[in-house]
Amino acid sequence: MSERAAAPGGLALVEALVNTVSLDTGEDRLAAEFGLSGAALTDARELREALRAACLAHAGLDMPAGRSDTLTRLLSRAPLLLAVDGKGAAALVPADPAPLASRIAVAVATAVTEGTWERLKACEAEDCHWAYYDRSPAGRSRWCTMAVCGSRAKMRSYRARRTADRTDGPTGPNRTDAL
């Protein structure tokens, strides 16, 4: 779980939705945090997991089959309008702001136009997949937090290399001093 600052603008809502379940503990706070029940809760869970899949795709992982279609289907139920104010400024607004999917659709559409949508990622750690906004200059961060998930991944990689070195023996391919 991340200690990072929330995503900017409407992406904070998307991030909050994705992060309503902890994959390592199984705790699901969706109903409590968004006040949903019944069919709306079922749709919100489906939307949450489709958004998580998109965030994982932004991190460079493959989006599971059907998740993009699910996301498209759920967000297509949330029509958007172009509202123009008295000063001539225009903004996307949901036709019906009550449903969660409508607010998410506005957030995603706005982030796409601002060029920030693909910066919302999900942590690569399989037991985490926490959504976070990648603020790194190159946009290549991989974990929600380096202190926890990144450190664990690097330690696993280090241990795997050490085990491989021991298995290869003193004249194995990873030993240059034996040449």
d(CA 4, CA 84): 34
pLDDT at 138: 85
151 is a domain residue: no
Task: Report if residue 116 sits inside a domain.
Answer: yes
Joined tokens for residue 51: 């958004």
Structural contact between residues 80 and 106, judged by C-beta atoms closer than 8 angstroms: yes
Render pLDDT for 2-50 as a digit per residue (tens, 0 to 9): 467 899 999 999 999 999 999 989 999 999 999 999 999 999 999 999 9
Q: Is residue 124 part of a domain?
A: yes
Q: How many domains does the chain have?
A: 1
Residue 92 lies in a domain: yes
Dihedral of alpha carbons 153, 159, 163, 164, sign:
positive
Task: Note whether residue 136 is domain-resident.
Answer: yes
| Alpha-carbon span 153 to 10, nearest angstrom | 30
Give domain status of residue 173, yes or no: no
Domain for residue 155, yes or no?
no
Q: 100 and 44 in contact (C-beta within 8 Å)? A: yes
* Separation of CA 78 from chain center: 21
Would 101 be classed as within a structural domain?
Answer: yes
Q: Tell how far CA 68 is from the center of its chain.
A: 14
Range of the domain at 16: 11-144
pLDDT tens digits for range 83-122: 999 999 999 999 999 999 999 999 999 999 999 999 999 9
Cα of first residue to Cα of last residue in the chain, in angstroms, is: 45
Pick left, alpha or beta for residue 9 (phi over 0 → left; psi -120 to 50 → alpha; otherwise beta): left
The CATH number of the domain holding residue 114 is 1.10.3300.10
Q: How far is residue 132's CA from residue 149's CA, in Å, rounded to a whole number? A: 12
Which tokens belong to 50? Answer: 């489709």
Please name every residue paired with 132 in a beta bridge, in sequence order, or none if there are none: 121
Q: What is the pLDDT of residue 142?
A: 73
Write the CB contacts of 90 (distance below 8 Å, at least 6 apart in sequence): 82, 83, 84
Higher pLDDT, 149 or 122: 122
pTM over cut 0.85: no
